[in-house]
Structure 1
Amino acid sequence: MRGPRPAAWPIAALLVGYPAWWALGFGGLSVVVVAPAMALVLWRRRPIRAPRGFGLWLLLLAGYLISALMLGEMPPGTYGEFGAGRLLGYLMRLCLYVSLLIMVLYLGNLTEEELPQLTLVRMLGVLFLTTVAGGLLGVFAPRAEFTSPVEMVLPGWISGNSFVHNLIHPTAAQMQRVLGHASPRPEAPFEWANAWGGNLSVLLVWFVVGWWVYGGPRRRLAVIPLVALAAIPVVYSLNRGLWIGLGVAAAYVLLRMGTRARVAACAALVAGALAFALSPLQTMVAQRLDSPHSNDIRAFTVSATVAAAGTAPLIGYGNTRNATGNHRTITTGKSGWCPTCGHPPLGGDGQLWHLMITQGFTGAALYVAFFAGAVRRHWRDRSPIGMAGVLVMILTLLYMFVYDGLVTPLSLYLVSFALLWRNSMASRVA
């Protein structure tokens, strides 16, 4: 495998060096740190190529800029005052959107000599191994956490913001009462347990491509035990969205592979299912499926988000809002004697709902059109990278109902999009 040339080092630093970013406190914000270096590479090789369908992403970004006009407004059924926290959240997301735009253009304008496709795929594979290690840390040392250097230097009014705190304060797991008692849900090295689950499924796709499909005997030999090891935090994550995503991925692979490969894949799935059924992990899965504690909360939040978005359907409100009450009462909220009381903000239960409250139905439609268009354009690409990239686009559309795209998930979605774009350019040249 050819290694990356100097122009490709920003993406290598972002993906392979992600554990260092997490420990420093940058985590998902690391893409903002490396974006200037990527922009410099782009500036030196004008004119800049852009992928088909990228106009939709530009419209999405333009809509987010316009939505700032509504930051001071409050939709019905919400509470709160316009202040530094709301403005900080808006500006942080704006920086992320711009940085991700730069990253996609940067990746698409690097040549195959500067950054071979397989090298980029294997960088994602390295991040998969990091994610598995973080998941195991969350299972066996769930209360591990520390104050990052970034957290030390930020003023308290910034680091104390709950959204910012999750990004800059490294923790191994979230402790949640999912099964009737405090259960650890792995999240290292990402910002939330749900982000860990969605990211692992996306990175697993690229790990299999880089280490199994294009791997030699040694890499292939390592795939099975590493994937089996990953099953431990996958189950302990209690993450139903992740489990559904893995099921969708398995169905997609069986649908699109050739007959011989399909038989081998079925045999592997049956063997894995039997091993799981005979392990202690299957009991935990059964308990989780019998404890759908978050369904009522999600139903309330989604319905309240759609109702609020209906009052500003074209441009939304620029940022999330807190609901008045929750699915049980209208009087819940933070107070001096209960600082952790309250309800997740509207738009916090999935990227689709987040876009509805921040950018209206227009923003949500542009997001869906961007990723659905990528599936349509690249469906006929039967190469391993092409089929893997389309699978990630499908998972993106699935996860938008249950997972927030910001911060790290959207970075991985768009790296996968860039791999599809690079693949299509290579096909046209060939």
Structure 2
Amino acid sequence: MRGPAWPIAALLVGYPVWWALGFGGLSVVVLAVPMAVLLWRRRPIRVPPGFGLWLLLLAGYLVSGIMLAETPPGTYGELGPGRIVGYTMRLALYTAVLIMVLYLGNLTERELPQLRLVRMLGVLFVTTVAGGLLGVFLPGFSYTSPVEWLLPRWLGDNPFVQNLIHPTAAQTQKVLGYAMPRPEAPFEWANAWGSNVSVLLVWAVVGWWVYGGPRHKLFVAAVIALAAVPIVYSLNRGLWIGLGLAVLYVIVRVGGRTRVALCGAVAAATLAFALSPLAPLVAQRLDKPHSNDIRAFTVTATLAAARHSPVIGYGNTRNAMGNHRTITTGRTDWCTTCGHPPLGSDGQLWLLIITQGVTGAALYVAFFLRAVRRHWSDRSPIGLAGVLVMGLVLLYMFVYDGLVTPLGLYLVSFALLWRNA
């Protein structure tokens, strides 16, 4: 926590404290303030390749704010505090993660060695696994955070804000036809946990297996074995697909004895999992793809609404009329299946289309595609891992929201690639 890198250590290693206080995903916004001050004093400021694309993304989000009061056909709701709060918080997050990238890229190797940054992400991986186990074994754990106590009721009761400031161990959903807790601690949603654990696992392997000694390897192997429990109980098909593709990517890109050893390890792990009590739960989830209809409805409604403002979007999400089962809007005592997630909540791509139009979506995709193309030739462990994470970003944008915490981890990974070059 000493030296110029203290805000990064406070963010990654100190994340459990932020979560316990009720800041959680907002911690990057808080720490962006000292980062910006320290960065200003270090002028001139180096900027990464693709910096202009992110600035255009931010500028487009500002422009989209002029559409906040509009209600596209097939949706309902009026401009109110909730819509303005959501817009403002997303703007703050987009800005904060950019400041974080600039701060990381302007720290020297002496001030923050690459391996130290990678291992900070590894520490957060351990925190994430611990939170996942908490969600599996104590799913009802939650409490009112200090931030929640201090916020005015009209703000703290906003659903978007509530998910950020109210620490909970799990989301309980009827994914398999009965109530089932899905781990989310220490993040804001179960899907955010799934996205984050996969990204952090990549960096934990690099920091403690590739660059670690025998004790480091033993430790990370044990943590990954424990992580299998919440990963399965998350019932998160996007996470499972992401991990499978990550293994395939590594096998293809490494060579020689490493590839042979990796294939052997994967075969052994697959056999051990197939014989474990976790395998039937995966089979049940694959047999009950109940969320497919929900996602199909929400994505279709998002695209239909976005057609009325295709270039700049609407600044924030909207609520559609009805859901995939009924034209009734809103959950009631006699219709517990009524209601639906906000438009754009089934993936960062769809969120960008409804909030910033196809322009914002194209800029986001271009930013991460450019990172893949530029760093593909970097075959160092950090280079291979960073490109893998950029690929996961482009996969997850179809099924996961990037906001709030996932986007921060995506851009820390981007900064590692930039620093490595």
TM-score, scaled relative to structure 1: 0.96
CA contact (8 A) 2:346 2:401 kept: yes
Confirm or deny that 1:154 pairs with 2:159.
no
How many residues are treated as equivalent by the alignment? Answer: 421
Match of 1:297 in 2: 294
Q: For the residues of structure 1 that align with 2:81 and 2:336, how far apart are their CA atoms?
A: 19
Q: For the residues of structure 2 that align with 1:218 and 1:336, how far apart are their CA atoms?
A: 55
CA contact (8 A) 2:326 2:338 kept: no
Match of 1:42 in 2: 39
CA contact (8 A) 1:125 1:203 kept: yes
Q: For the residues of structure 2 that align with 1:295 and 1:336, how far apart are their CA atoms?
A: 24
Confirm or deny that 1:109 pairs with 2:106.
yes
CA contact (8 A) 1:198 1:409 kept: yes
Q: For the residues of structure 1 that align with 2:339 and 2:220, how far apart are their CA atoms?
A: 43
Q: For the residues of structure 1 that align with 2:292 and 2:131, how far apart are their CA atoms?
A: 27
1:332 is displaced (CA, Å) by 2.3
Q: For the residues of structure 1 that align with 2:220 and 2:271, how far apart are their CA atoms?
A: 18
Match of 1:238 in 2: 235
* Secondary structure of 1:405's aligned partner: coil
* Secondary structure of 2:289's aligned partner: coil
The amino acid of 1:93's aligned partner reads R
Match of 1:165 in 2: 162
Deviations 1:55-83 (A, max 9, x none): 10000000000000000001111001110
Match of 1:358 in 2: 355
CA contact (8 A) 2:314 2:356 kept: yes
Match of 1:218 in 2: 215
| Structural mapping, 1:15-26, within 5 Å | 15-26=12-23
Deviations 1:89-121 (A, max 9, x none): 000111111111100000000000100000000
Q: For the residues of structure 1 that align with 2:264 and 2:375, how far apart are their CA atoms?
A: 28
The amino acid of 1:227's aligned partner reads I
Match of 2:64 in 1: 67
Alpha carbons of structure 1 residues 184 and 335: separation in structure 2 relative to 1, 3 Å: closer
CA contact (8 A) 1:199 1:412 kept: yes
Match of 1:428 in 2: none
| Structural mapping, 1:105-144, within 5 Å | 105-144=102-141
* Secondary structure of 1:6's aligned partner: coil
Q: For the residues of structure 2 that align with 1:165 and 1:334, how far apart are their CA atoms?
A: 19
CA contact (8 A) 1:31 1:96 kept: yes
The amino acid of 1:82's aligned partner reads L
Deviations 1:240-265 (A, max 9, x none): 00000000100100010012100000
1:171 is displaced (CA, Å) by 0.3
1:331 is displaced (CA, Å) by 1.6
Match of 2:262 in 1: 265
* Secondary structure of 2:5's aligned partner: helix
TM-score, scaled relative to structure 2: 0.98
| Structural mapping, 1:307-346, within 5 Å | 307-334=304-331, 341-346=338-343
Match of 2:365 in 1: 368
Q: For the residues of structure 2 that align with 1:346 and 1:62, how far apart are their CA atoms?
A: 22
Q: For the residues of structure 1 that align with 2:407 and 2:205, how far apart are their CA atoms?
A: 20
Runs of 4+ displaced beyond 4 Å: 334-341
The amino acid of 1:65's aligned partner reads L
Q: For the residues of structure 1 that align with 2:341 and 2:134, how far apart are their CA atoms?
A: 26
Deviations 1:372-415 (A, max 9, x none): 11000000000000000000000000000000000000000000
Q: For the residues of structure 2 that align with 1:132 and 1:302, how far apart are their CA atoms?
A: 31
Alpha carbons of structure 1 residues 6 and 177: separation in structure 2 relative to 1, 3 Å: same
Q: For the residues of structure 2 that align with 1:162 and 1:390, how far apart are their CA atoms?
A: 34
* Secondary structure of 2:244's aligned partner: helix
Q: For the residues of structure 1 that align with 2:57 and 2:350, how far apart are their CA atoms?
A: 15
* Secondary structure of 1:389's aligned partner: helix
1:313 is displaced (CA, Å) by 1.0
Match of 2:400 in 1: 403
Match of 2:90 in 1: 93
The amino acid of 1:92's aligned partner reads M
User: What is the percent sequence identity of the aligned residues?
Assistant: 77
Match of 1:427 in 2: none
CA contact (8 A) 1:5 1:114 kept: no
Which is worse superposed, 231-240 or 303-312?
A: 303-312
* Secondary structure of 1:7's aligned partner: coil
Match of 2:80 in 1: 83
1:334 is displaced (CA, Å) by 4.7
Confirm or deny that 1:391 pairs with 2:388.
yes
CA contact (8 A) 2:322 2:338 kept: no
Identify the match of residue 246 of structure 2 among 245, 249, 256.
249
Q: For the residues of structure 1 that align with 2:10 and 2:289, how far apart are their CA atoms?
A: 39
Q: For the residues of structure 1 that align with 2:279 and 2:180, how far apart are their CA atoms?
A: 16
Match of 2:198 in 1: 201
1:54 is displaced (CA, Å) by 1.1
CA RMSD of aligned residues (A): 1.2
1:339 is displaced (CA, Å) by 9.5
Q: For the residues of structure 1 that align with 2:80 and 2:332, how far apart are their CA atoms?
A: 18
The amino acid of 1:136's aligned partner reads L
* Secondary structure of 2:197's aligned partner: helix
Alpha carbons of structure 1 residues 163 and 340: separation in structure 2 relative to 1, 3 Å: farther
CA contact (8 A) 1:319 1:357 kept: yes
Q: For the residues of structure 2 that align with 1:265 and 1:198, how far apart are their CA atoms?
A: 23
Which is worse superposed, 332-341 or 312-321?
A: 332-341
CA contact (8 A) 2:323 2:338 kept: no
Q: For the residues of structure 1 that align with 2:332 and 2:35, how far apart are their CA atoms?
A: 44
